[in-house]
A and B are shown apart, each in its own frame.
Chain A
Amino acid sequence: MSLLPLTKTNTSDDEADVCAAIAEASAARTPVYAIGGGTSLSFGCLPSEAGLGVRTTSLAKLIDYPARDMTITVQAGMTYAELSRLLAQENQRLPIDPPQAEQATIGGILATNTSGPRRYGCGTLRDYLIGLSAVDGRGTLFHAGGRVVKNVAGYDFCRLLIGSLGSLAVVTQATIKVIPIPERSLMLACALRSANEMETMLADLVASPIMPSAVQVLCGKSVQKVFADRWGDVRAVLAVGLEGTQAEVEWMRTSLESRWGQKRLAIERVENERGEAVWRHLSEFPAADDPALVLKAVLMPSRVADFCDLVHSLAPEAELLADGRGHVFVKFLAPLDDAAGLLIRHLHPAAIQLGGRLAVVHNAEPQGWTRQMIWGGRTEADDFVDAIRRQFDPHNILNPGRWG
């Protein structure tokens, strides 16, 4: 929290308090920084203008959980872990798996569009959020969506606010559709020998009838932590999460083991306690080991292997977690100091060339980082983000400076 220039922090346990605090701040033109679990405060540019912290962690009540309708309505300050515990009592889940789940709040996950390994098969929060309440930069409470799973009445602010980093509104409540916990979950992992092999394996999965819930490639030192005792000195590991009924998982396991067996790959079947540990390790990757710098790239899935290869050639010390859906997290444990600028100047255009974008999602030493370094170049679509911000937050008090 020390990252933010806070003069004071309100901890509201009431939606009306949030409205009042923001209305007052708006009148005084004081910046407002919404804070959930505080796990992603260095995502994007670092705000510099002193202002009011609005902590939402006490705004954490369960509002309604009609389990048979497979929806749940909670206040935005509820943590993901707490939500998961509630859902598990009804054998249901929200398969988002953010890092630091005991701290990360629903509002924070929404604001940062955080997702986890299951994004490959289960999607991200935009596929589950069906309603919300939020307070705009004038202190006006507004609602969007509703509590039913299918609804096209009015503009879709649920999705609009996803990824908005608290710069359009402070989310106070969310209604989410949930899904059943599958009967069985296991993971198959194999060691990869080269970047070429990585793309071959990923493409092979896409072309196969197997429907994984997660497809992750871990590269770098952290491989050792999870898989060393199994295979010794391997550089990269592909881990594929298989979930469904007993019969479905069994079929997928057999089918995948046979596909991989033909390629003479060493395979580990990861299940039960070790399975949980590996899932957790993959979910925690972006936040684990107190990193100095974490970049996130979202690319065309077929270009992920090329991107990993490029990062490895520029910065061999980088740890990587890539994803069959096109996500790559690039993590540095030690500060890069002067090398950071050069690296980032290479990686932004590379990400664009590979069909995507890159951004800085965690930065322990953000001083001196420019907008360009953090977000890359502007696009024409950004003009409309600005136009929406002027409408939702006319005095530019919500998380000002986050976009640079």
Chain B
Amino acid sequence: MNSRTVSSKLISDLVAIVGADRVLSARSELAVYECDGFVIEKNSPDVAVFPRTTAEVAAIVHLCNEHSVPFVPRGAGTSLAGGCLPVGGGVMIVLTQMKQIVEINLRDRYAVVEPGVVNVWLTQALRGSGYHYAPDPSSQGACTIGGNVATNSGGPHTLKYGVTVNHVLGFEAVMADGRTVQFGGPTAESFGPDLVGGLVGSEGTLAIVTKVWVRLTRDPQGYRTMLGVFDSVEDATQSISEIVGAGIIPAALEMMDQGIVVALEEAFQFGFPLDAAAVLLIEVDGLEAGLDAQRDAIVDICTRCGAREVRQAADDAQRAKLWKCRKQAFGAVGRLSPSYCTQDGVVPRTKLPHILRRITEIGAKHEVRIVNVFHAGDGNLHPIVLFDERDAAQVRRVLAASNEILEECIAAGGSVTGEHGIGVEKIDLMKKLFTPDDLEVMGRFRAAFNPQGNLSPGKMLPTAGACGMEQIHPGRQAAM
């Protein structure tokens, strides 16, 4: 049998649609497309194609259907759960060439963007307008808005502003059968089941988004950004609970433990205290008139909860530097170990002290080092397990520790993913989170959009299977 799932006819047909310079099929050229930020499992697509228009995407999908090959959309590949891993190979539809900001309408508070627009481009385009696009994942300098829609991305400011789905009014998509359909649009809502809400976060398994109407949010008049320094993790988590309990909803409430603070300090020399057990990055924003009172209340609460000190960002430059540190925290982890695996559990906010204790115990049990930087206000944990992917025994211990952490999150009434998605990484955990009936109904929902199962096969649902399309060339996995 041929070592490819796709025929040379398919490749020449793809070339006919988009041109030879927008089709990659040589093994060496495809290496970069064999995984996203989840590097444990790798698999190359057989061909990657870079459409520039919705019509090209539709033509590609029609072609894949004619040839019965699987196809998977991809943005910048910054996702962390293998959402754009091409399970079964096939055609990867890379949307990064669809990168126009089509319209900005400030009166009606929306923008229309193509899926390959990088999140921060929209923020840059809106600078000075008095508006911004609220979802700001840490990867916003690279991730695309199409990818944000697929994964329902969050970020540090979701506590007050919500996640991607709260900011998507509608989109145009090419469906699994090649049809182009508009869901929602420039208005705040429509009638009937909320298909926009139902499709956001479907991880590329139901539709390929080709144009998005996003809501624009008024810039706050001002910010107060604080850094609470704590000698114990308990005191820090207690402060979080007290701040929210006092009726204050900060724009962001992030926690970093000692391990990550040390790495950040080495990378950025911000002046973080190296001996603190935990640091809280707290930001309130909104009308100037209300900010000083909120800041004073937060300083007071942190102090009462045992904070060693509460520093305040003196000006915009200092605030920007603090946020740069936070958003590049994952990069700084490179200073601690050659590889790392970031988890994405969620617990009710009040269970944070418990889960952080358990994470420490689980790390000790499996002899792996774990550092934490996470969206504490949402209860959304990002334990980072440090390891060396060349050491098979370590990889096994990392996976075991990660699994145990996520099971603890479930036991605490939480979830196994707050913003990264299920992808391929967490498929097995779906059975622990949902009943067989829940998963069966989810399978039915997928079937309504993707009846052949050839759009992003093998994702999200344990029952999804590989839709009869077998892997023909060998995949790659990290040493196990």
Contacts and interface: CB of A to CB of B under 8 A. Distances in A.
A211 B446 CA distance: 39
Residue among B193, B202, B416 with most chain A CB within 10 A: B193
B182 interface: yes
Interface stretch (A29-37, A152-160, A216-224, A257-265): A152-160
A12 B41 CA distance: 48
A327 interface: yes
A251 to B, nearest CB: 3
Interface stretch (B5-13, B46-54, B388-396, B418-426): B418-426
Nearest to B185: A355
B386 interface: no
B165 A207 contact: no
B287 A251 contact: yes
Given A66-B350, A147-B414, A207-B106, 13 more contacts: A68-B349, A152-B417, A154-B430, A157-B198, A163-B192, A180-B249, A244-B287, A248-B289, A251-B289, A326-B188, A384-B181, A385-B192, A392-B444
B430 to A, nearest CB: 7
B421 A298 contact: no
Contacts, number: 262
Contacts of B434: 143, 153-154
B192 A152 contact: no
A1 B130 CA distance: 49
Interface in B94-138: 106-109, 130
A155 B202 contact: yes
Contacts of B422: 152-154
B152 A152 contact: yes
Given A140-B440, A357-B191, A247 B293 contact: yes
B415 A148 contact: yes
B441 A156 contact: no
A329 to B, nearest CB: 14
Contact of B188 (A159, A327, A379): A327
By Cβ-Cβ distance, the 8 closest A-B pairs, closest first, are A159-B197, A251-B289, A160-B198, A180-B247, A391-B444, A248-B290, A387-B448, A150-B418
B353 to A, nearest CB: 12
A156 B165 contact: yes
B163 interface: yes
Interface in A103-159: 113, 119, 123-124, 126-127, 136, 140-144, 146-159
Contacts of A299: 187
B478 interface: no
A355 B187 CA distance: 7
B233 to A, nearest CB: 18
Nearest to A182: B247
A156 B152 contact: yes
A179 interface: yes
A71 interface: yes
B218 interface: yes
B182 A302 contact: no
A156 B437 contact: no
A356 interface: yes
Interface in A369-392: 375, 379-385, 387-388, 390-392
A228 interface: no
B20 interface: no
B144 interface: no
B480 interface: no
A263 to B, nearest CB: 19
A126 B197 contact: yes
A95 interface: no
Interface of B: 106-109, 130, 151-152, 154, 158, 162-163, 165-166, 175, 179, 181-183, 185-198, 200-202, 218, 221, 241, 244-245, 247-249, 286-290, 293-294, 346-350, 375, 378-380, 413-422, 426, 429-430, 433-435, 437-442, 444-449, 460-461
A162 B61 CA distance: 30
A101 B45 CA distance: 54
21 contacts: A69-B348, A147-B414, A150-B379, A150-B419, A151-B346, A153-B415, A153-B430, A153-B433, A155-B442, A164-B192, A179-B249, A180-B249, A209-B130, A251-B287, A251-B290, A252-B287, A302-B108, A380-B179, A380-B181, A384-B195, A391-B447
B194 A206 contact: no
A380 B200 CA distance: 18
Contacts of A357: 187, 190-191
A401 B158 CA distance: 39
A125 to B, nearest CB: 10
Contact of B201 (A152, A211, A300): A152
Give the interface SS of chain A, mostly helix, strand, loop or mixed. Answer: mixed
A384 B187 CA distance: 20
Given A160-B195, A163-B194, A247-B293, A146 B187 contact: no
A331 interface: no
Given A147-B413, A159-B198, A248 B193 contact: no
A387 to B, nearest CB: 4
Interface of A: 66, 68-71, 91, 113, 119, 123-124, 126-127, 136, 140-144, 146-165, 167-168, 179-181, 183, 203, 206-207, 209, 211, 244-245, 247-248, 250-252, 298-302, 325-327, 355-357, 359, 375, 379-385, 387-388, 390-392, 403
A250 B293 CA distance: 14
A149 B221 contact: no
A161 B441 contact: no
Given A127-B162, A141-B437, A155 B198 contact: yes
B414 A146 contact: yes
B414 A381 contact: no
Contacts of A383: 181
Residue among A124, A152, A299 with most chain B CB within 10 A: A152
B287 A142 contact: no
Contact of B380 (A150, A155, A160): A150
A391 B198 contact: no
A381 B195 contact: yes
Contact of B449 (A71, A149, A301, A387): A387
Given A148-B414, A247-B289, A380 B442 contact: no
Given A143-B438, A150-B379, A390-B448, A156 B166 contact: no
Residue among B194, B221, B378, B414 with most chain A CB within 10 A: B194
Contacts of B293: 245, 247
B107 A302 contact: yes
Contacts of B218: 209, 211
A209 B221 contact: yes
B438 A168 contact: no
B287 A153 contact: no
A156 B287 contact: no
A119 B421 CA distance: 29
A154 B188 contact: no
A262 B280 CA distance: 45
A149 B108 contact: no
Contacts of A152: 151-152, 163, 201, 415, 417-422
A242 to B, nearest CB: 10
A143 B435 contact: yes
A203 B192 contact: no
B193 A385 contact: yes
Contacts of A375: 191
Contact of B438 (A68, A142, A250, A356): A142
A159 B185 contact: no
A325 B188 contact: yes
A286 to B, nearest CB: 15
Given A148-B415, A150-B163, A298 B187 contact: yes
A391 B430 CA distance: 21
Nearest to A147: B413
Contact of A300 (B187, B348, B349, B416): B187
Residue among B107, B415, B418, B433 with most chain A CB within 10 A: B415
B449 A150 contact: no
Contacts of A300: 108, 186-187
